[in-house]
Structure 1
């Protein structure tokens, strides 16, 4: 279950659901608050954290820099078998056609990016990306259900694979940058669509 930003969280309910006392639940929520995943408001309650636009932008900028390097290197060293594995992942994404399948789409997306890092020999870079993309993942849960977005992601992934198969390092890096830039370009649209889901702590021009 994906909880929307601003949703109230009950310590009592969580404790009962997991068969524990409220103390470990409270400690877990405090840790999540440090990561800005929940908001604890005195005398009001605990809520699913809104997405800080500043943290989202920073994560996307960092991810773009890291994953364009990964794509470039993958194009240099890719084997045909590795390319076939990437194409198989893209095809698995094509098979996902209903909103109920979106969690699986997210997982295959993770597998795709992890596979690229493995191909490039940059597993450590993927670990860095995983650490910084918490807010990006939350944002993507909002964007993917929008009409046309799943198809666009598949098209963008296919463009990355095509460039890697050709051994075109420049095109591979550019295709990855285009893929991740789309997420950043859409922030203004989704922030206006769901203003209560975001912390508006970063100016977006245009």
Structure 2
């Protein structure tokens, strides 16, 4: 009887421990449950969390760069979490990424805010963009085909339509597409990828220039001169017209800042609002 009780689990702690040690059957039933959970549930949950965080990051970034969220505006984590039906963890992860990009300032005791535009960094960013785009437009002018020039002309027409419709947001998108087309025409789409990385703060500033009377009309004229040089297969003139186009952007910094002082900061990126 004693050995029988021990073999079946027993009625004492000692007997139970011996039974588990002696028989592999309990491990066969319970161990897969412990192994399966991490392999199926935990990585899946982590992936979902990462995906949600990435989506929130993209959404907030687009809102900040497009100036739908204004510099200095508070970002309420709880509201964003509620809107997406998630916890605040993926929201915080997204905000940390935006802080690394210089688009959000996080103050532990105060909350998170859309960063102000670091005015001191704009000239350098524009110069880097200028170097990249001058190189791209030279290549474009050297090798553009008729169909590629036609695509650029079609984009110019779209810019005019957006201007006539007083659609600043639509014009900004057409402007972005125009410069991307030049990089494609050059056979160097990576130039535009690099340019986009360095001009995030410039984009926010540039959107503030569009409401200035005559600004969009001037930009279209500058773009037209660039396309004319590309069509003429004149790399030197294409680079000159591109340089003049981007220099005009740099020349407006002081006036735009004076008209929108709350949107700008003299402090380096990441130093706070």
Task: Indicate the TM-score class for this superposition, using the shorter chain for normalisation.
Answer: over 0.9
Aligned residues: 201
- Confirm whether residue 58 of structure 1 aligns to residue 124 of structure 2: yes
Work out which structure has the larger RCO, using CA pairs closer than 8 Å and 6 or more positions apart in sequence: 1
* Alignment deviations for residues 14-40 of structure 1 (CA, whole Å, 9 cap, x no partner): 111122111111111111111110111
Q: Which moved more, 1:36-45 or 1:177-186?
A: 36-45
| Deviation for aligned residue 1:156 | 0.8
Residue number in structure 1 paired with 2:47: none
The 3-state SS of whatever aligns with 1:39 is: strand
Residue number in structure 2 paired with 1:172: 238
Alpha-carbon distance in 2 for matches of 1:3, 1:44: 18
The 3-state SS of whatever aligns with 1:116 is: helix
The partner residue of 2:193 within 127, 144, 154 is 127
Residue number in structure 2 paired with 1:32: 98
Residue number in structure 2 paired with 1:95: 161
Using the size of structure 1 for normalisation, the TM-score is: 0.92
Alpha-carbon distance in 2 for matches of 1:124, 1:164: 19
1:6-17 aligned at under 5 Å gives the runs 6-17=72-83
1:151-190 aligned at under 5 Å gives the runs 151-190=217-256
The 3-state SS of whatever aligns with 2:105 is: strand
In the alignment, structure 2 segments of 5+ residues that lack a partner are 1-62, 269-273
Alpha-carbon distance in 2 for matches of 1:130, 1:187: 19
Over alpha carbons, which structure has the higher Rg? 2
The 3-state SS of whatever aligns with 1:95 is: helix
Residue number in structure 2 paired with 1:22: 88
CA 1:98–1:18 in 2, change beyond 3 Å: closer, same or farther? Answer: farther
The 3-state SS of whatever aligns with 1:146 is: coil
The partner residue of 1:111 within 170, 173, 177 is 177
Alpha-carbon RMSD: 1.5
| Deviation for aligned residue 1:126 | 1.3
| Deviation for aligned residue 1:51 | 0.7
| Deviation for aligned residue 1:201 | 4.2
Using the size of structure 2 for normalisation, the TM-score is: 0.70
Alpha-carbon distance in 2 for matches of 1:98, 1:145: 13
Alpha-carbon distance in 1 for matches of 2:85, 2:169: 26
* Alignment deviations for residues 132-156 of structure 1 (CA, whole Å, 9 cap, x no partner): 1111111122111222111111111
The partner residue of 2:107 within 28, 41, 44 is 41
Alpha-carbon distance in 2 for matches of 1:152, 1:196: 26
Alpha-carbon distance in 2 for matches of 1:201, 1:184: 19
